[in-house]
C-alpha cells in the first residue's frame, strides 16, 4: 500500500534522498520499535526527505507479522512513499554485489562453525567480537579438505582495514571495528550487512535512523559501501527503550505491543502520546499527532539516554 507524503513543501524544495524504517517480520513491533519508527519518520519528514518502508525478511519470518507491523505503524499515523519493499524479492541485487566483490579478489570461503568462531574470538589476542581470520589464508589443499567434509562454506569479505570512522548526527565521529564480515551465509542467504548496504543505496536512502545497538555495525557497513562504489548514508543512532531491569525492551516484558495496549483500553493516540513524552516532544497525557510532533521536532534536543519503559497502571473498569 502506498501512502501520500505529509510534507507540504513542493517536490522541488524537498531533499533528493530518503529515510526509512526497516523492521524484520519476526513478530509484532513493541513500543521501542514503534518509537524508533516515529523518530525515523520525523527525521525524514523534517528534512524534506521521502520516507520508505522496507521489510527485512531474509531471516526469521512469522506468518502475518508483516501485515500487523504495517497496520500498527499506520494506526499511529505514519505514512510512507511508494510500495513496501521486501528483501526476499531482491536477491539478484545481492548476488550482483557479491560477484563484484569476488571479481575484485575481496572474498573468501569460511568453513568455521559458530562455536569455533566464538571460541577463537574470545582468545586474549583477538579483538572483541571480531572474526579472527581463521579461513582467510587457507591453502588450496586445506580448502579442498574442508570442502570434502561436506560443510557448506559461508562467504566473507577480505577486509583491508581493521577500523573505520563514520559521522553520526547524535554521536558525532565514531570509529568502530571492521572485520572479515559474512557476505553470504553457508545456507546461501545474503547476510544482513551486505543486504542493508545494497538496499539503502539502490533505494536512494541517504539517512538511516535506527537504535543505537546498531551503532557498532555502521563502520562495517560504511566501509563495505565504499568498496562497492556506493555513498554511505548519514546515520542517526537513537537511544533504545529498556525495561525496568535496564535490559533492551522485548515482547516478553509484558503489554508492550500496540495490540496489548489497545486491549488495556489505550488508543493509538494514547500510545503515540506516551512515545512523544519519552522523546521530550509532549507533556504527560497531552493529545498529539504526528503533525504536532513534526513542528516540535529538533534532533539536537533529543534525549541521549535510554527510555526506561514504566507503563502507567491500566485504567480500571467501573
Active site positions, annotated: 251
112 annotated as ligand-binding: yes
2 annotated as ligand-binding: no
- The grid cell for 249 is 525492551
110 annotated as ligand-binding: yes
111 annotated as ligand-binding: no
22 annotated as ligand-binding: yes
The two beta strands, 207-211 and 234-238, are parallel
The two beta strands, 154-157 and 107-110, are antiparallel
b/e burial code for range 164-186 (CB count within 10 A of at least 16 → b)? bebebbbeeebebbbbbbbbbbb
56 annotated as ligand-binding: yes
24 annotated as ligand-binding: yes
Are 25 and 85 contacting, i.e. CB atoms less than 8 angstroms apart? no
Are 183 and 156 contacting, i.e. CB atoms less than 8 angstroms apart? yes
Neighbours of 110 (CB within 10 A): 23
Are 50 and 5 contacting, i.e. CB atoms less than 8 angstroms apart? yes
192 annotated as ligand-binding: yes
- Mapped onto helix, strand or coil, the DSSP state of residue 269 is helix
108 annotated as ligand-binding: no
Neighbours of 50 (CB within 10 A): 23
The annotation places the binding site at 20-24, 56, 110, 112, 131, 135, 192, 210, 251
Q: Known binding site for Zn(2+): residues?
A: 110, 112, 131, 135
Task: Detail the residues annotated as belonging to a binding site for ATP.
Answer: 251
Binding residues for L-glutamate: 20-24, 56, 192, 210
Amino acid at each position: 500500500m502506498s501512502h501520500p507524503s505529509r510534507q507540504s513543501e513542493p517536490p522541488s524544495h524537498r531533499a533528493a534522498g530518503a529515510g526509512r524504517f526497516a523492521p524484520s517480520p519476526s513478530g509484532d513491533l513493541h513500543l521501542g520499535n514503534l518509537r524508533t519508527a516515529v523518530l525515523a519518520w520525523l527525521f525524514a519528514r523534517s528534512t524534506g526527505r521521502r520516507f520508505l518502508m522496507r521489510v527485512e525478511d531474509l531471516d526469521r519470518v512469522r506468518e502475518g507479522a508483516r501485515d500487523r507491523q504495517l497496520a500498527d505503524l499506520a494506526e499511529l499515523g505514519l505514512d510512507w512513499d511508494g510500495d513496501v519493499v521486501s528483501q526476499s524479492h531482491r536477491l539478484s541485487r545481492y548476488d550482483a554485489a557479491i560477484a563484484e566483490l569476488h571479481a575484485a579478489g575481496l572474498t573468501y570461503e569460511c568453513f568455521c562453525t559458530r562455536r569455533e568462531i566464538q571460541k577463537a574470538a574470545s582468545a586474549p589476542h583477538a579483538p572483541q567480537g571480531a572474526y579472527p581470520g581463521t579461513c582467510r589464508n587457507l591453502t588450496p589443499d586445506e580448502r579442498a579438505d574442508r570442502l570434502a567434509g561436506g560443510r557448506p562454506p559461508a562467504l566473507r569479505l577480505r577486509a583491508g582495514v581493521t577500523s573505520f570512522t563514520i559521522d553520526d548526527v547524535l554521536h558525532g565521529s565514531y570509529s568502530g571495528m571492521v572485520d572479515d564480515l559474512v557476505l553470504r551465509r553457508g545456507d546461501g542467504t545474503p547476510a544482513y550487512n551486505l543486504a542493508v548496504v545494497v538496499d539503502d543505496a539502490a533505494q536512494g536512502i541517504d539517512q538511516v535512523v535506527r537504535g543505537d545497538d546498531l551503532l557498532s555495525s555502521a563502520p562495517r557497513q560504511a566501509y563495505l559501501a565504499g568498496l562497492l562504489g556506493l555513498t554511505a548514508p548519514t546515520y542517526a543512532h537513537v537511544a533504545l527503550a529498556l525495561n525496568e531491569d535496564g535490559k533492551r525492551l522485548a515482547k516478553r516484558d509484558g503489554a508492550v505491543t500496540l495490540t496489548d495496549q489497545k486491549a488495556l483500553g489505550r488508543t493509538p493516540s494514547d500510545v503515540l502520546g506516551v512515545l512523544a513524552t519519552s522523546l521530550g516532544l509532549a507533556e504527560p497525557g497531552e493529545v498529539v499527532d504526528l503533525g504536532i510532533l513534526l513542528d516540535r521536532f529538533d534532533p539536537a534536543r533529543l534525549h541521549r539516554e535510554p527510555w526506561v519503559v514504566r507503563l502507567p497502571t491500566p485504567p480500571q473498569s467501573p
